[in-house]
Structure 1
Amino acid sequence: MWQLKLAGRVITTCIRTVAALYLGVRAGIAAERSIVAFHSRASRRIFLYQYKKLLRVPKRILLQIRDEMASHARRSLQGDKSSTMPMLPAYVDRLPTGSESGTFFALDLGGTNFRVRYVALEKGKDEIDTKSVQYKISKAIMTAPVEDLFDYMASKSVPFMRRFLDPKAGRPRIGFTFSFPMEQTGIASARLLRWTKGYSCPGGVGSDPVRLLKDAFARKGMEVDVPVLANDTVAVLAAGRYYHPDCRMGVILGTGTNAAYMERTARIARAELPSGTEEMAINTEWADFLGESLPTLPEDRGLDEASFNTGLQLYEKMISGMRLGEIVRRILVTLGRRGLLWGGDVPLELLVEHRIPTSLVSRLDDGRKVADARMVLTELGLNPGGCLSRNELQTVIEVCSLVGRRAARLSAAGMLAIMNLMGIDGSDGPVPDFTIAVDGGLFEKYASFRDNVGEALREVLGEEAAKRVALRHAGDGSGDGAAMLAAIAPA
C-alpha cells in the first residue's frame, strides 16, 4: 500500500514540475513579446521624433524661406534668369471695383476639372448671378494632342453657353483661366512654357492658348471673343478685389499652388509694358521656387525623381494637394521597411504610387480618430487582417498631421515673402489691414491646414499684426475673376 502512496506522490510532483515549467515558459514568451512591443514602440517614437525635427518648419526656417523667396522674386523682376521665381507679368493693369455690369462667360482649366461658368454682374449688387457646369479631365485627354484637349473643352462649352446667349448681343465674351506656366505677350495672348499637373499634350508648348481656344470654338460652329487670358491666381486676385477693396494677393492652394499680386511697373525691368501703366498683376509661379532653405526629406527627393518634371517645382511638390498623400505614403513605406509598422511586412497595396489620396490625409489629420484610421486604411487594403495596433494607427495619423502642417507652414512662408516684397509685412512699418483671397481644395476642405497657415502667420507677424491680415476663401474665384476681368478688358 505504501508503494502506491509513494507512486502517487511522485506523479503529483512530476505534474507540478511540468506545470511550473510550462507556466514559466509561457511567462517568458509573454515577457519577450512585451519587450519586443516596447522596443517597437520606442523605436517608432525615436524615428518619428527625427521626422518631426525635419517636418516642423520652425519660425527660424519660415524666415529663411521668406527671405530667400523674396530675394529670388526681386532678382527676377530685374531680369535675372537664374532666379527660381519666374514673376511673369500678366498684362492686367487694373482690377475690378464692384461696379461692373454685363453678362460674361468664364472657362477654367488648370487641374483635374474643367469648368464653364456664366456670370451676370450688376453694378451695386454684392451678389452675382452664376451658373456653371464642371467636367472631369480624363488622363487620356490630359496626354492627347493639344487640339483634342481644346476640342473637348469647346464641345462641352457650346451647349451650355447657348442656353444663356442673347442672339442680338453679338459674340460671347469669355474670360479664359489657363493655369499653366505661360509667358504673356498681352492681356489676351501668351506662349505656353510647359505643362504641369499631369498634363503633357503634344503640340501645346510654345502655342498661344487663346488662339487654340478660338479655333476649337470655330470648329464647333461658334465665334467667340476672348479678351482676357489669366492664370488662376490672377483671376482669384481679381475676384478678391471685386468683393474686398483691400485685397492685395490671390493665392491658390489646391491641386497645385501659386500666387499673384499687383506690382509697381517701375520695379519691373524684364518686360515691355504698355505706356502709362502704373501697376501690373504679377503671376509669381512660386511653385518653381527652389532654395537651400527648403526642408526636404529623402521622401521628397524620391517623389521628385519619380515625377514627370524632375528637378522642377519642388516647392509645389511639398505643398500641393496632388502630392501630400504621396509624401505620406513614402514615409509610411520607410517606417514599414524598418519594422516599425506592419511588423516589417509592408502591404503590397502601399507600394503602389499615389495609393494614399490627400483626402485621407486631411480626414485623419482633422479627425485624429483611431477608429477612423482603422476603417479607411482597411478600405484601402492597408490594414490586412486588422493587423495594425492602436499605437501603429496613431503613428499613421501623426505622419498625416506632420506632412499637412509642414505644407501649410511652407504656404505661409510664401505669403510672407510676397508681403515682404510689397513692404507690408511689418519690416518697413506697421502691417496694414488687407485681404488675401485664397482658392483651392486644400484651403477650403482641410481645416487643420487653414489653422496651421494662420498659426505660422501669427508666429512671424505677431498676434496683433496678424489680426489685420484676413485670409478669405474665394470660392469659384478662378472662374468668377476671369469673367470680372473680361468685364473691364478693352473691347
Structure 2
Amino acid sequence: MGSKPSARRELERVEGKMDNLDSLSRDLRTEIERLDELFWVSGETLKAISKRFQEELDEGLQENGRNIAMYLTWVLGFPTGHERGAFLALDLGGTNIRVCWIELAERKGETKVMQSQYKIPDDLKTGSADQLWNFVAESLEKFTKEQGLNGSENEPLPLGFTFSYPAIQDYIDHGVLQTWTKGFDIDGVEGQDVAEQVQEAIAKRKLPIRLIALINDTTGALIASAYNDPDTIVGAIFGTGCNAAYMEQCSSIPKLKSHDQAKDLPSDTRMAINCEYGAFDNSHSILPRTPYDETVDEQSPRPGEQTFEKMSAGLYLGEIFRLILLELHSKGLIFPDQTNLSYLQSSYSIDTGVLSFVENDDSADMGDTKNRFRREFNITPSHSDLRAMKHIAITVAVRGARLCACGVAAICRKSGIQKGHVAADGSVANKHPKFRRRWGQALGEILDWKEDREDDPIVLTSAEDGSGIGAAVITAMTLERAEKGQMVGIRAGAQQKKVST
C-alpha cells in the first residue's frame, strides 16, 4: 500500500499548481505544512461528516429540542410559478428594517418591487418588545403612506414577515422566538409569539395590514428561487452564518404527529423545513476542530453553540486566519520587524473579504495586499510574509468550502435527490470567486460523482430575494390554500382576499 498523500498534494489536487514555498525559511515552511495537515479535510472525512449530518437531520425531524432544530414552516409544496397578486413584505434584519410592496407577475414575468429601508436604532437592539414592535409598525406606516397603499378593514394589505431568528411555528402566521441572535437582546420577546406581537402593534396604529405568513430567510430563498427556477431543490445561506431549507415529505417528519391539524395531510405532501444546521455537531464528535476553532468558540458570546457555523461561515473564517497570523508572529516567523500589531490584535478585525482579497491578489509581488495591510493594519508585510499569507488564506478558505458541502450532501442523500439547483445566498457564496468550484468538488467527492463528468448534476445558483419576493410568494401560496379551504397550518385570520394587481 502507498503512503497517505500529504495535505499539500491533496490541496494541489483540488486547487491546481500552488506557489512554490521553497524560498521561505525552513521553520516557516514547517509551520505551513503543519497548518495544511490541520485544515485539510479528505473526501473520506467529508463522507463521515455527511453521514453524521444526516443522522442529526433525522433526529431533528423526530422531536423538538435536538441539535439541529429542523423547524416546521407550514409552507406546503413548491410554488407553481403562477402565483399572482400584490403583497407587503417586511424583513427584520440585524441593521435595518426593509419594507417592500411586491407585485408578482408569474414565473419569468416582470415582478415589480418597491422598497424602503429604515435603520434600527442601536439602543432598540437591547430595548423592550414594545419599542421594537412600535418601530416596526411605524416603519410599515411610513412606507404605506409613501407608496400611497390603501387597504381597508375588510380588505387589509396582506403581509409576509421575514423573521430570521430561531422560532418554533405551530402555524404559518405564528412563531415563538427561542433565542435572539445577531446582537439583539430585547426584553419580552423570547418565548413569545412574535407574529402576535407585531400584529398587536399594527392594530394599535389602526393600520389596515394583516400578517399572513412568518418565514425564515432561508425558506424564503428556497421558495423565491423555485418560483423562477423549477429545478431548485435547496435554499442555502453561505454568508455570515450558514443554513439551508429543503422540502421534506410529511410522512418522514415524526414530530408532525403532535400536531392534530396535520393528521389529515396526504403522506406525500411536502413541507419546507428550515434546518438551522449551524448547530451541527455541538457534541464535538465528528468535526475535525483545530486549536484555532477551539479559541474562536471559547471567545464567542455563546461557547459550545453553533459548532459547524464557527468552522465554515463567513463571520469566522477571517478570525481563524487572524489567529494563525498572530501565532506565527509570536514565533517570529512572519512580521518579525513589526512591533505594533494592535490593529491585528482586535478580534474580528480581519473579515472574510480580506481573506478573499489576499488569496486572489494577482498584482505584482502582491503589492495590493501589502498596501491594504499597511493602510488597514499598520503592518508592512515582507515578500515572504505575503506568500505565506496567501497560502494560509487558501488553506482556510478551502476547508470552509468543503465543510459547507456536507450539509447539502446530507439533505440530498436522505431525500434521494440526484440533480438540481442549490439556490445560495450570502457573502461567501456570492463574493468569494472560488467558493462554488471548491464546494462542487467536495460535493462530488461525498456523493461519488464520476471524475470525468462533463457537468455537475447538482450546482449552486444565485438565490432570488428570499426576504422580499420569497415572503410575497409564500403569502400568495398561503392565501390560495386558505381560499380553497386547505387550512392545515393556517389560522382563521388568513382567510382574506389577495390584493389584485
TM-score clears 0.5: yes
Counterpart residue number, 1:323: 316
Q: Pick one of 362, 365, 371 that aligns with 2:367.
A: 371
Deviation at 1:382, TM superposition (A): 3.9
C-alpha distance in structure 2 between counterparts of 1:435 and 1:409, whole Å: 18
Contact 1:237–1:250 (Cα < 8 Å) also in 2? yes
Pairing of 1:6-17 with structure 2 (within 5 A): none
Pair 1:43 & 2:27 matched: yes
Secondary structure of 2:314's aligned partner? coil
Contact 2:436–2:460 (Cα < 8 Å) also in 1? no
Number of corresponding residues: 444
Pairing of 1:379-458 with structure 2 (within 5 A): 379-383=375-379, 386=380, 388-424=381-417, 431=418, 433-458=419-444
Contact 2:173–2:195 (Cα < 8 Å) also in 1? yes
CA distance 1:107–1:367, shift in 2 (3 Å): farther
Contact 1:40–1:340 (Cα < 8 Å) also in 2? no
Counterpart residue number, 2:472: 483
Pair 1:61 & 2:37 matched: no
The one-letter amino acid paired with 1:98 is G
TM-score, structure 2 as length reference: 0.83
Contact 1:214–1:223 (Cα < 8 Å) also in 2? no
C-alpha distance in structure 1 between counterparts of 2:391 and 2:136, whole Å: 41
C-alpha distance in structure 1 between counterparts of 2:362 and 2:201, whole Å: 48
Counterpart residue number, 1:239: 224
Secondary structure of 1:202's aligned partner? coil
Going by fraction, where is helix more abundant, 1 or 2? 1
Counterpart residue number, 1:286: 277
Deviation at 1:203, TM superposition (A): 2.0
CA distance 1:76–1:167, shift in 2 (3 Å): closer
C-alpha distance in structure 2 between counterparts of 1:137 and 1:296, whole Å: 36
Secondary structure of 1:359's aligned partner? helix
The one-letter amino acid paired with 1:263 is E
C-alpha distance in structure 1 between counterparts of 2:225 and 2:170, whole Å: 24
Contact 1:336–1:346 (Cα < 8 Å) also in 2? no
Q: Pick one of 82, 87, 104 that aligns with 2:87.
A: 104
Secondary structure of 2:78's aligned partner? coil
Instruction: Write out per-residue CA displacement over residues 86-114 of structure 1, whole angstroms, 9 at most, x where no aligned residue.
Output: 11111111232110111112112244443
C-alpha distance in structure 2 between counterparts of 1:164 and 1:41, whole Å: 68
C-alpha distance in structure 1 between counterparts of 2:455 and 2:178, whole Å: 36
The one-letter amino acid paired with 1:372 is D
Q: Pick one of 53, 58, 72 that aligns with 2:56.
A: 72
Instruction: Write out per-residue CA displacement over residues 292-338 of structure 1, whole angstroms, 9 at most, x where no aligned residue.
Output: 22121212111111111111001111222222222211121111111
Structure 1 segments unaligned to the other structure (5+ residues): 1-37, 425-430
Secondary structure of 1:130's aligned partner? strand
Which 4+ stretches in 1 moved above 4 angstroms? 135-139
C-alpha distance in structure 1 between counterparts of 2:41 and 2:344, whole Å: 27
Deviation at 1:223, TM superposition (A): 3.8
Deviation at 1:472, TM superposition (A): 1.1
Contact 2:440–2:459 (Cα < 8 Å) also in 1? no
Contact 1:188–1:228 (Cα < 8 Å) also in 2? yes
Q: Which one is further off, 194-203 or 60-69?
A: 194-203
Secondary structure of 1:361's aligned partner? helix
Bigger CA radius of gyration: 1
CA distance 1:124–1:58, shift in 2 (3 Å): closer
The one-letter amino acid paired with 2:98 is R
Q: Pick one of 331, 336, 357 that aligns with 1:338.
A: 331
C-alpha distance in structure 2 between counterparts of 1:208 and 1:334, whole Å: 46
Pair 1:362 & 2:349 matched: no
CA RMSD of aligned residues (A): 2.4
Secondary structure of 2:156's aligned partner? coil
Task: Determine what percentage of the aligned residue pairs are the same residue.
Answer: 33
Contact 2:224–2:469 (Cα < 8 Å) also in 1? yes
Q: Which one is further off, 176-185 or 392-401?
A: 392-401
Counterpart residue number, 2:144: 161
C-alpha distance in structure 1 between counterparts of 2:324 and 2:297, whole Å: 14
Q: Which one is further off, 455-464 or 322-331?
A: 455-464
Pair 1:88 & 2:107 matched: no
RCO (CA 8 Å, sep 6+): is it higher in 1 or 2? Answer: 2
Structure 2 segments unaligned to the other structure (5+ residues): 1-21, 483-494, 496-501
CA distance 1:409–1:340, shift in 2 (3 Å): same
